[in-house]
Amino acid sequence: FVIAMSVKYWGDSASQPCRTIEYILKKLNIDHEYNYAQLFVVTRSEEFKKNVNPRGYIPVVEVDGQKLYESATQARYLLDSFDPNETLLPRSDLKERAKVDSLLDWNNTTVRPTLTGQLRKIVFSVMFGGPEPSDEEKKAEMDKTNALYAEMEEILGQHTYLANDNLTIADVQIYNEVVLSTAILKYDHSAFPNVERWTKQMVEDPVITELNEAMFKRLE
């Protein structure tokens, strides 16, 4: 089992994917160099693009001089390298690993585009000088969100967490999308009791609570 010698991290707790990587770093007590890169400010600078990530995105993780740019890839790499007990990501059981990998991919293809897309359409576009969405556009975004939560409700009706009865990194990644959207839009999950139960379970983890507090502070 190989432990990397040097880990550097660039991120901002206002970012959902960043909080997933910060969760891993904190949960596994991984020694690392922390670099605060303010979302939409530092990340858009030419210096950041030249020296850290040419795409101007965070999080960025560097392990022994090799930079990793996508959060799901970063999560897998860090957990494969630093989590010998397979606490958050299975390795020895390929079927269980596939469940978690599938959910991480689902987050990228469905969960994040739906929830972050809704925030961009309804909130962020207006904040940055864009047009106010119509009532029809708001309803269309809410319908997408309700459909997503209905799918999550069915999944969470089968076991305690998304992949199985144990918390995995897929729960953390998807929860980080859910909590930001819920906080900003004041979304009520009462129509989805399994989702509501799951969100309450997630905040029983002190690292999740710590990261939520950092997020709310950044959003003030």
Measured between its terminal Cα atoms, the distance across the chain in Å is 42
Q: 21 with 219: CB under 8 angstroms?
A: no
Average pLDDT value for residue range 80-93:
94
Cα–Cα distance for residue pair 179/109, rounded to 1 Å: 18
For residues 83 and 30, give the distance between their C-alpha atoms in angstroms, rounded to a whole number.
Answer: 10
- Evaluate the omega torsion of the peptide bond into residue 84 and state whether it is cis, within 30 degrees of 0: no
pLDDT digits (tens, 9 = 90+) for 183-209: 998 999 999 999 999 999 999 999 999
Q: What is the pLDDT of residues 112-124, one digit of tens each?
A: 999 999 998 888 8
Which residues of the chain does CATH 1.20.1050.10 include? 94-219
- In SS3 terms, 154-197 reads as HHHCCCCCCCCCCCCHHHHHHHHHHHHHHHHHCCCCCCCHHHHH
Q: CA–CA separation, 89 vs 92, rounded Å?
A: 10
Per-residue pLDDT, 110? 97
What DSSP character marks residue 89?
S
User: Rounded to the nearest 5 degrees, what angle is found at the Cα of 152, between the Cα atoms of 108 and 156?
Assistant: 125
pLDDT 10s digits, 91-112:
999 999 999 999 999 999 999 9
What was the pLDDT predicted at 218? 87
Place of tokens 């997020």: 215
Question: Hey, is 36 helix, strand or coil?
Answer: strand
Position of tokens 């909590």? 179
The CATH H-level superfamily of 7-82 is Glutaredoxin (3.40.30.10)
What pLDDT is recorded for position 8?
Answer: 97
pTM of the model: 0.94
Three-state SS at 99: helix
**For residue 2, pLDDT beyond 80:** no
CATH class assigned to 94-219: mainly alpha
pLDDT at 164 exceeding the cut of 80: yes
Closest by alpha carbon to 19, among 217, 152, 157? 217
Q: For residue 174, how many other CB atoms are within 10 A of its CB?
A: 25
Domain with CATH 3.40.30.10 in the chain: 7-82
